[in-house]
């Protein structure tokens, strides 16, 4: 069978969309039938297999992708097993002579994909990968010394001087189906959904489809993200984009984000510029992960290998359950458990309490987020936790300790966020809702601290002072 007649496999991974998909467009342009494939390969993910919340999202995203492909006469073939072995089986079953996919940037996945490409090429198959999930490839952006950036502001300034490619136009109408489809599992056979119904609240919080992502992006871009700068730090308001899980699973791409704002003159508002810089922070996180692949488990700043972390299981469990006695922290942790997501400002507050007040290793927080976030992304998760611990890039001042009381009062001024997620505190007077242990009986509205809601597991001043002392010890070690 000639090249322009032989089928091509499009291997879907974290690019679960049919628009702005260069691998899919290349398969269509090749001329032969197109065989869309998803392989559930948990071992191929290395140390970072899908967490529980991510599996929930993946289940629904795969169903959504399958429905989109159906509209063009294509089927999503689903397999489970080692990616390389399954691809070779599919090549044999379908008679395909080429495999196209879009790149991922996690260290273990890079190693796996490299071996797969080498193996397929050595056997005479065409194997090509493309960029669908980033605006800039990590190896393309270098500082004046030719090295990777480690500070965000100069990184993003440099990026904004580069040309941003438009979304890839995919001619779906030209896609051809094979005469016979290979065998496939049903999405349900992957058993991605939990056996117990802890995910009930996810369905109210999310619609894991490409259509929902594009609708949310369109609304944000049409307003030029007006109010984003002002409201993005308010967890009691719908002031963020909530596009993170859609971006992680590739139901929408960053090139589409920039293109959407270009249509609405993105230079016109501070909100638009600020929002696009958050896309830049995502790019920066992938830049760091690619160049420093050890960072998911080890600090970027080597001296933090000597930081005096103190592992305390009781503290960790209280934090995980949202029972720390700090209302803004507990609200965030309960929102996370109920919806698979947490407001970004609150993520910083809860992380600060864990790694600074309690001095529990940042890796413990990263693991919990990995399992409970629907937008769990190795690059973003790693960068966020290392920033919070002070051991990563752009972490100055690394010794900053968030005050959970003041943070609550500033960013949840009416206590609405706390009341939503910590219902036992709803009767409290707004003046004391962020530090209920200081309230008198009238302000508590019948709530008993220590019975209905816990007292703080650590005093703020005590935790802050202990953290600063630990940073001073680390500083002394560095100077030796």
* Residues designated as active site: 278, 281, 309, 344, 362, 385
CA geometry: angle at 229 spanning 373 and 324, to 5°? 40
Sheet-wide strand order for 77-80: 77-80, 34-40, 8-12, 98-102, 126-130
Spatial contact of 250 and 132, defined as CB atoms under 8 Å apart: yes
Q: Name the burial class of residue 472, with classes exposed (0-12), middle (13-18) and buried (19+) by CB atoms within 10 angstroms of its CB.
A: exposed
Task: Give kind and range of the element (H or E) at residue 19.
Answer: none
- Number of neighbours of residue 285 by Cβ within 10 angstroms: 25
Q: Name the burial class of residue 194, with classes exposed (0-12), middle (13-18) and buried (19+) by CB atoms within 10 angstroms of its CB.
A: middle
Q: How far apart are CA 288 and CA 106, in angstroms?
A: 11
- Could you tell me the two tokens for 401? 């300790």
Q: Name the burial class of residue 207, with classes exposed (0-12), middle (13-18) and buried (19+) by CB atoms within 10 angstroms of its CB.
A: middle
Residue given tokens 């992680």 in the structure block: 248
CA 26 to centroid of chain Cα atoms: 27
In angstroms, the first-to-last Cα distance of the chain is 69
- 34-40 and 77-80 as β-strands: parallel, antiparallel, unpaired? parallel
Spatial contact of 339 and 332, defined as CB atoms under 8 Å apart: no
* DSSP labels, 416-453: HHHHHH-GGGTTS-GGGTT-GGG--HHHHTT--BTTTB
- Answer whether the bond into residue 360 is a cis peptide, omega within 30°: no
Spatial contact of 470 and 455, defined as CB atoms under 8 Å apart: no
Q: What letter would DSSP give residue 173? A: G
Q: Name the burial class of residue 462, with classes exposed (0-12), middle (13-18) and buried (19+) by CB atoms within 10 angstroms of its CB.
A: exposed
Spatial contact of 288 and 150, defined as CB atoms under 8 Å apart: yes
* DSSP labels, 262-315: HTTTGGG-HHHHHHHHHHHHHHHHHHHHHH-TTTTTS-SSGGGGG------HHH
């Amino acid at each position: 069978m000639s090249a322009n007649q032989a089928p091509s496999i499009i291997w879907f991974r974290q690019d679960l969309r049919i628009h702005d998909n260069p691998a899919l467009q290349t398969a269509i342009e090749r001329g032969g039938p197109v065989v869309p494939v998803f392989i559930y390969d948990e071992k191929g993910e290395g140390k970072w297999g899908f967490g529980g919340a991510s599996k929930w999202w993946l289940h629904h995203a795969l169903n959504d992708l399958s429905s989109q492909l159906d509209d063009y006469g294509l089927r999503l073939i689903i397999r489970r097993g080692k990616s390389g072995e399954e691809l070779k089986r599919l090549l044999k079953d379908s008679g395909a002579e080429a495999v196209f996919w879009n790149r991922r940037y996690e260290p273990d996945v890079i190693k796996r994909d490299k071996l797969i490409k080498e193996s397929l090429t050595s056997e005479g198959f065409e194997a090509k990968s493309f960029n669908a999930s980033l605006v800039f490839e990590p190896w393309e952006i270098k500082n004046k010394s030719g090295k990777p950036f480690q500070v965000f502001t100069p990184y993003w300034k440099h990026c904004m001087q580069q040309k941003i490619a438009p979304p890839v136009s995919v001619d779906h109408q030209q896609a051809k189906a094979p005469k016979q489809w290979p065998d496939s599992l049903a999405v349900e056979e992957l058993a991605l959904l939990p056996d117990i119904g802890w995910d009930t609240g996810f369905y109210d919080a999310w619609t894991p489809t490409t259509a929902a992502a594009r609708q949310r992006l369109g609304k944000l871009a049409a307003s030029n993200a007006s109010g984003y700068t002002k409201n993005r730090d308010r967890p009691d308001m719908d002031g963020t984009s909530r596009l993170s899980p859609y971006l992680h699973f590739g139901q929408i791409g960053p090139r589409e984000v920039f293109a959407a704002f270009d249509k609405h003159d993105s230079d016109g508002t501070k909100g638009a510029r600020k929002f696009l810089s958050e896309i830049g922070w995502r790019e920066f996180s992938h830049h760091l992960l690619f160049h420093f692949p050890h960072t998911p488990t080890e600090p970027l700043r080597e001296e933090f290998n000597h930081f005096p972390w103190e592992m305390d299981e009781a503290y960790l469990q209280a934090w995980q359950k949202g029972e720390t006695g700090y209302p803004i922290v507990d609200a965030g942790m309960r929102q996370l458990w109920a919806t698979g997501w947490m407001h970004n400002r609150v993520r910083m507050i809860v992380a600060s309490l864990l790694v600074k007040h309690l001095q529990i290793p940042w890796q413990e927080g990263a693991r919990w987020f990995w399992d409970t976030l629907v937008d769990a992304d190795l690059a973003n998760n790693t960068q966020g936790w290392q920033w919070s611990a002070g051991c990563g890039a752009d972490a100055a001042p690394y010794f900053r300790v968030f005050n959970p009381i003041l943070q609550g009062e500033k960013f949840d001024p009416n206590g609405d966020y706390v009341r939503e997620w910590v219902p036992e505190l709803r009767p409290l007077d707004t003046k004391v809702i962020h530090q209920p242990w200081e309230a008198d009986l009238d302000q508590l509205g019948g709530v008993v601290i220590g019975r209905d809601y816990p007292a703080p597991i650590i005093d703020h001043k005590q935790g802050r002072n202990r953290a600063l002392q630990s940073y001073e010890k680390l500083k002394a070690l560095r100077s030796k």
